[in-house]
Amino acid sequence: MNLTAGQKLYAALEIDTRLVPLDRLNAYNAIAYFLTVEDEPPEQAKNLERVDRYLQAFHHLCEMSEWQKAGQILSFCPISKELHDQLRIWGYYREQIGLYQDLLGKVSPEQDLVCLNGLGRAFYNLSDFDKSWGYYQQQLQLSRQVNNRKTEAQAIGGLGDIQHMRQNYSEAIALFQQQLDIARKIGDRKQEGYALTSLGCALYNFGLTRNKQNYHQNGLNYLQESLGIAQELQDPEMESFCLTNVRRAYFDRGQYDQVLIFIQQQLDICDKTNDKRGRYFALEDLGQCYSMLRKYDQALCYAKEALSIVREFGDKFYESCTLNNLGVIYCYKLHRYQEALSYFEKSLEILQKTDSQERIALIVVNIFNCHCFLKNKEQSDFYLNRAKLFMAKSDSLEDKGLVTMAIANAYWGRNEFWYKAWGIVLVIKGLLMMPPWRSVNGRLAMEVTIKQIFGLAN
């Protein structure tokens, strides 16, 4: 007799209704119904409907304080991943949080480590970096108490992700190096691969923002090594994650044909695994790639699809990124400045609510440029002053270069010869900070400057 997944789980729970108190019988009968009687959902059912029976059983068990059995459901694999991880793959972060919070502190330290890591990751994916940091810190402390090196490495990696997001690159690099050292010491190849891609990404960005070529190249080497490990392990989720990071280095270098190959590989993986977050990153990068290839209709189509997906799973930081990228297409490619302005302003509004300094200077400069093109002097002056404040606080050469180029454009817009001459000096200074051959932002900044100087803006 072939048992369904629900029936297998019910058997593993070892529930004997003959021994159940009368006041709990209805709840146990409900669990039996959800897992053994209720029809399997149709193939076209939405993702959450496919696991609803397990969530219902979990909540009934929690109501009766059957914490260990509830934990069994959390770790049950109804499709291809454990239930809590399957929800993450589909982008149901808030549902994940509810499960973890119900179970935290109820079963065992090992179960708590699963919950703490899940909470840290879920809040990170929702751009709530303060809460994410707190849960990762708790995970790190508990991991060391019970001497669980694997979850210790996971927690250190999570803390590194947050430092990276906050542009604290030196701190992030140190944490990722710790994660890598532990992974290699315990022989955890998968953890090693994740540590390498995070370390590679941090080194690459550090080199990009500080003009340190050796960091830049070392970062790319680590990214390629991590992709090789993912392919060696035949881990589709890990490969998707590595593809996202490695192709961005190729994108900055202008190697768009290679970027498109990586994107198609990731989309193929996401189609098989139903990885919503991975699909978002692929579509987001596809939009940017087609924009740089001057295929603007396709770029808008993919960017808007990416925006729809990121809003579904609620990651505010990346929603802000996609809104900014849509603004870039409307502003610098289609010259529809009023439409671009609405995207940039919404992007800035969202980003300021997250605990991240990344991209704020970029978005403010984009708003400044929009107002320049629209001849809105008062607004352009206001946003230029804001950009200068962000530049003063930033250690990033990319940020400083962007703002320097914006100041140059403002000077060039004045009638006096000396302002125009100083504007040329600042253009050269800005290009030295962020050369157009090193990053896509450098190429866009140069494009805007050429438009301003030669009067090519519409």
Euclidean distance between CA atoms 81 and 455, whole angstroms: 56
**Which element (helix H / strand E) includes 415?**
none
Q: pLDDT for 172-185, tens place per residue?
A: 999 999 999 999 99
Note the helical H segments in 355-439: 360-373, 377-393, 397-412, 417-433
Confidence at residue 453, expressed as pLDDT on a 0 to 100 scale: 64
Task: Answer yes or no: are the C-beta atoms of 291 and 254 closer than 8 Å.
Answer: no
Which pLDDT value is given to residue 222? 95
Q: How is residue 226 annotated by DSSP?
A: H
pLDDT for 226-236, tens place per residue?
Answer: 999 999 999 99
Tell me what the mean pLDDT of segment 236-265 comes to: 92
Number of H helices, E strands in the chain: 24, 0
Q: What is the SS3 string spanning 28-40?
A: HHHHHHHHHHCCC
CA dist., res. 195 & res. 189, Å (int): 10
More confident call, 401 vs 39: 401
pLDDT (0 to 100) of residue 455: 57
pLDDT in tens, 144-163: 999 999 999 999 999 999 99
Average the pLDDT over each of 53-67, 164-178, 183-197, 426-440 and give the range with the smallest value. 426-440
By the 8 A CB rule, do 181 and 149 touch? no
Give me 282's structure tokens. Answer: 């692929």
pLDDT at residue 442 above 90? no
Dist. CA 286–CA 233, nearest whole Å: 26
Domain 1-147 belongs in CATH node 3.30.565.10: no
| Dist. CA 95–CA 425, nearest whole Å | 54
* DSSP category for residue 332: I
Q: Quick check: pTM over 0.75?
A: yes
Task: Determine the pLDDT at residue 458.
Answer: 42
Q: What span, in angstroms and rounded, lies between the C-alpha atoms of 182 and 85?
A: 23
Token pair in block for residue 17: 């209704």
Q: In terms of pLDDT, which residue wins out, 289 or 22?
A: 289
| Average pLDDT value for the chain | 90
pLDDT score for 245 = 92
Question: What is the number of other CB atoms lying within 10 angstroms of the CB of residue 101?
Answer: 12
Query: What is the arithmetic mean of pLDDT over 53-67?
Result: 94
- At position 167, the amino acid (one-letter code) is Q
Cα angle: 385, vertex 427, 361; to 5 degrees: 35
Tokens of residue 104, six digits: 């935290």
Query: What does the domain layout of the chain look like in residue ranges?
Result: 1-147
Indicate if the pLDDT at residue 456 is higher than 50: no
The predicted model gives 286-313 an average pLDDT of 95
pLDDT tens readout for residues 72-106: 999 999 888 999 999 999 999 999 999 999 999 99
Q: Answer yes or no: are the C-beta atoms of 348 and 367 closer than 8 Å.
A: yes
Residue found under tokens 């000396």: 418
pLDDT band at 440 (very low <50, low <70, confident <90, very high): confident
Phi, psi of 16, deg, nearest 5? -110, 100
Q: For position 14, what pLDDT does the model report?
A: 87
Query: Mean pLDDT throughout 420-436?
Result: 80
pLDDT band at 37 (very low <50, low <70, confident <90, very high): confident
- Give residue 170's pLDDT: 93
> Comparing 41 with 341, which gets the higher pLDDT?
341
* Dihedral sign (CA 421, 422, 423, 429): positive
Tens digit of each residue's pLDDT (9 = 90 or more) over 198-235: 999 999 989 877 777 778 789 989 999 999 999 999 99
pLDDT bracket for residue 457 (50, 70, 90): very low
d(CA 324, CA 360): 10
For the chain, give the percent of residues with pLDDT over 70: 97
Residue 359 banded pLDDT, cuts 50, 70, 90: confident
Instruction: Give the whole-number percent of the chain exceeding pLDDT 90.
Output: 63
Cα 442 to Cα 247, 359, 376, 400, 435: the distances in Å are 18, 14, 25, 11, 6
Q: Nearest-5° angle of CA 394, CA 397, CA 399?
A: 55
Angle between helices 5-13 and 52-63 (to 10 degrees): 20
135/83 Cα distance (integer angstroms): 20
Query: Residue 352 — very low, low, confident or very high, per pLDDT cuts 50/70/90?
Result: confident
